[in-house]
A and B are shown apart, each in its own frame.
Chain A
Amino acid sequence: MNHALTLHGVTKRFGSFTAVSNLSLEVPKGCIYGFLGQNGAGKTTTIRMVMSIFHPDEGRISVLGHADAQEVKDRLGYLPEEKGLYKKMKTAEIVAYFGKLKGMDSRTANNKARELLTRYGLGDWLDKKCEAMSKGMGQKVQVLGSIIHEPELVILDEPFSGLDPVNRDTMRDIILDMKRQGRTVIFSTHGMEQAEQLCDYVMMIHKSKLQFAGTLSEIKKGRDLGIQLDYDGDGRVLAQLPGLSRINDNGKHAEIYLQVGTDPQRALRWLLDHVTVKRFDYREPSLHEIFVRTVDEANQKLTATAEAR
């Protein structure tokens, strides 16, 4: 019972296509949990099953201790991947409407809607119509609509997509505030940095299958350490680093992995000779690196099995 959500061997097929395959997962209460995966990996399908919008073909789901999310609908908050608002409704009205649909009484919902909007920087928009808002503002309004009833578990499907840095920070604050209040937040994202900074736990799905799940340190443990390098100069030369295994070069920053047995000190010396080194870190890999590597490995495995057949 100290899990907000458990999935046990959950499978969902659409015709001949398997969207989610034998997925098992536990989300502890009070944490922030990140769902990672490429587009079409099965994140949204998983989330929709949790919300009882779809029903799994196999396996069991338990949400807040109940087998069916319908029973605990009013204790859940949900921001779908496809986000939209009623254009003609006023901002405060629509947030309050979502609250009322979750069983809040009219007056509480109205007051709470205004309070939330004001707290998160939309105080000037309370009585304006949704159609007048920018995309980012609309997204904030929607998130507020999904948490107005103080749900125990909030599921946000890509809450950060399409937001500018300021709105991103607001979104982050909303999520952190939720955690501070002891609620559980699950969100899916493509932004590895956000996941790394915010999440207590992450999991990754690739092509319907779970690749890893756990706390960040659990996931990073045992993986190759890598060089985090900030530099100036021509990055093309980095590819010639002796003992190089893999490199993620971003122009000003590069993530470098060495072959087993290569001394990082020697690499540093080489780098000093070839580029202007501004920062040199030898540490565990970033989530980004883990993600990309997992995708690569999984794809290789799939090709191998396909060829074996």
Chain B
Amino acid sequence: MANKTLLVAQREYLENVRTKTFWIGILIVPLLIGAMVGATALLEKLKQVQRYTVVDLGPGDLLERAEREFRSGDAKLLFQLAAKATNDPRLAALQQKLGATGDGKEPSGEQLLAVFEWMQQQDPALLAKIADVQTAKQYTYVPIAELGITATEPDARLQQLNQRVQAGDVFGYFVLGADPEQTTSDFRYVSNNLTDGALRSAYENTLTRLVQKERIAKAGIPPKVAEHIQRRVEFQKLQVDATTGATTDVKNENVIDKWAPVGFVYFLWMAIFSIANLLLTSTIEEKGNRTIEVLLSSVSPHQLMQGKIWGIAATGLTIVGTWVGFGALSAWLAPMFLGDTSGGMIGALLTALRNGGYLFAFVVYFLGGYLLYAAVLVAIGSVCNTLKEAQNLMQPVMMILMVPLLAMMFIGQEPNGLVAKVLSFIPLFTPFAMMNRAGGPPQTWEYIATTILLIATIWFFMRAAGKVFRVGVLMTGNPPKLREILGWLRQS
């Protein structure tokens, strides 16, 4: 009995594994993801350094101070690097210039000035090579003089600057007002690209800090008091641990827990849908090429159906297994090629990949989801003679399958919300919803209850599919109406 099912499954598996489509299917996903990650990294690298200039209408040295403040993060980083023993000749030079570096963490004002001076002499590209200088990597300050601005009268000068912006010599320019202490309403930022607001907001933050400092000093408030007043209220993030019930610190991984399941759901959906579809096409093909009757003279319809379902399940598991393998591999290899990937969906996915639980859940929910939809699709395939006929019957299935995709982001944000819980208990959505909630995570009883419900539904669907298959597989001509199919189900 079981032996014949196995034979059918084996044939089905081998036939699939031997095709080019199968290998393309296996390789295309990792390749696509690899290409996506690579392209993102490449784009990041290719992003041009934005050149900007500043016109200071005020009498003071606001421009210089702003520039220093803007690059203070970079300067501090370089200072810290120089404070350590270093082999880099450039950093060594900086070290010498700085002399004693104190504790090596907080530079004094003078030291910072020295670093600034040194930075200005260096090529930004070189700086980027020795340290992760974010500002230097992204923005370059070009003094007005270097832009060949000849006019001295303010309006004409701005006119000329506008031309420079138009010509693309600079990405944009800032105009610092005459009296920032009183008002900043005459501060301007001019650029042809206002959608990319990163430069503007970074510079804005810098100026805000500077101007605030000045105003505080003017008002005679001691800096310590000012700092105290200005300190933001921040909540410490804690989470109730699922097992102990105590609160635990939440680290970075929470972002990961929020996004990684969404990525997994997406892959789960693709895997279940494409592999269950394979079963549909294979069933229709078998009907189309008339092999079904010979087969039925050797095996029972039940054996044939089960053989097909499991043969393709094996095919699917091979694909999914390969993906998982690729995923695990890339999780370990990625840091070597991509450097720091923390933050963002890819980083989140990679971290999650290092967590075996996700991979295990993925494989289990793939199998569960596949078997459920396989029962539906094998029944549809058995009553259709062509793919075209099947498409009509597939429409409601597709509509149902859209739900987890639409709810994906929503559940990711509220993994224990009402929608998430309700969807978890509808077996058609259980695999997707539960995978989606993995970051929550759901309570143990929910895992148990939904799994029992899912298995029961699979059993029920398989029985129903068996009844439809038995009759449908020998039918030719138009596919039966839903009413007729329901009639078959009622028969023993």
- Interface residues, chain A, with chain B CB atoms under 8 Å away: 51, 53, 70, 73-74, 76, 78-80, 82-89, 97-98, 100-103, 142, 145-146
A80 touches B18 (CB 8 A): no
Instruction: For B15, give the chain A residue with the smallest CB separation.
Output: A88
What are 9 residue pairs bridging A and B, where the CB atoms are less than 8 Å apart in the complex? A80-B293, A80-B294, A84-B291, A86-B11, A89-B11, A100-B7, A101-B4, A101-B295, A102-B298
Instruction: For A131, give the chain B residue with the smallest CB separation.
Output: B289
A83 touches B290 (CB 8 A): yes
A86 surroundings in chain B (CB, below 8 A)? 11, 15, 289, 291
Instruction: For B303, give the chain A residue with the smallest CB separation.
Output: A101
B13-37 with Cβ < 8 A to chain A: 15, 18-19
B297 touches A84 (CB 8 A): no
Q: How far is the CA of A200 from the CA of B75 in the complex (A)?
A: 105
B457-489 near A? 1/0 per residue, CB < 8 Å: 000000000000000001000000000000000
Q: How far is the CA of A80 from the CA of B474 in the complex (A)?
A: 12
Q: How far is the CA of A103 from the CA of B7 in the complex (A)?
A: 10
B86 at the interface (CB under 8 A from A): no
A146 surroundings in chain B (CB, below 8 A)? 294, 297
B119 at the interface (CB under 8 A from A): no
Interface residues in B, total, Cβ within 8 A:
21
A101 touches B298 (CB 8 A): yes
- Interface residues, chain B, with chain A CB atoms under 8 Å away: 3-4, 7-8, 11, 15, 18-19, 288-291, 293-300, 474
A79 surroundings in chain B (CB, below 8 A)? 294
A78 touches B294 (CB 8 A): yes
A88 touches B293 (CB 8 A): no
A97 surroundings in chain B (CB, below 8 A)? 7, 11
Q: How far is the CA of A76 from the CA of B296 in the complex (A)?
A: 12
B294 touches A53 (CB 8 A): no
Q: Which 9 A-B pairs have the closest CB atoms?
A: A84-B290, A78-B297, A84-B289, A80-B293, A82-B290, A101-B298, A84-B291, A51-B297, A100-B7
A73 touches B291 (CB 8 A): no
Q: How far is the CA of A305 from the CA of B293 in the complex (A)?
A: 37
B293 surroundings in chain A (CB, below 8 A)? 53, 78, 80, 82
Residue in B3, B291, B296, B299 whose CB lies within 8 Å of A85: B291
Interface centre among A78, A82, A88, A102 (most CB of B within 10 A): A82
B291 surroundings in chain A (CB, below 8 A)? 84-86
A70 touches B297 (CB 8 A): no
B290 touches A101 (CB 8 A): no
Instruction: For B295, give the chain A residue with the smallest CB separation.
Output: A101
Q: How far is the CB of A131 from chain B (nearest CB, A)?
A: 10
A103 surroundings in chain B (CB, below 8 A)? 3
B289 surroundings in chain A (CB, below 8 A)? 84-87
Q: How far is the CB of B74 from chain A (nearest CB, A)?
A: 62
Q: How far is the CA of A9 from the CA of B392 in the complex (A)?
A: 42
Q: How far is the CA of A89 from the CA of B16 in the complex (A)?
A: 11
Q: How far is the CB of A53 from chain B (nearest CB, A)?
A: 6
B297 surroundings in chain A (CB, below 8 A)? 51, 53, 73, 76, 78, 80, 146
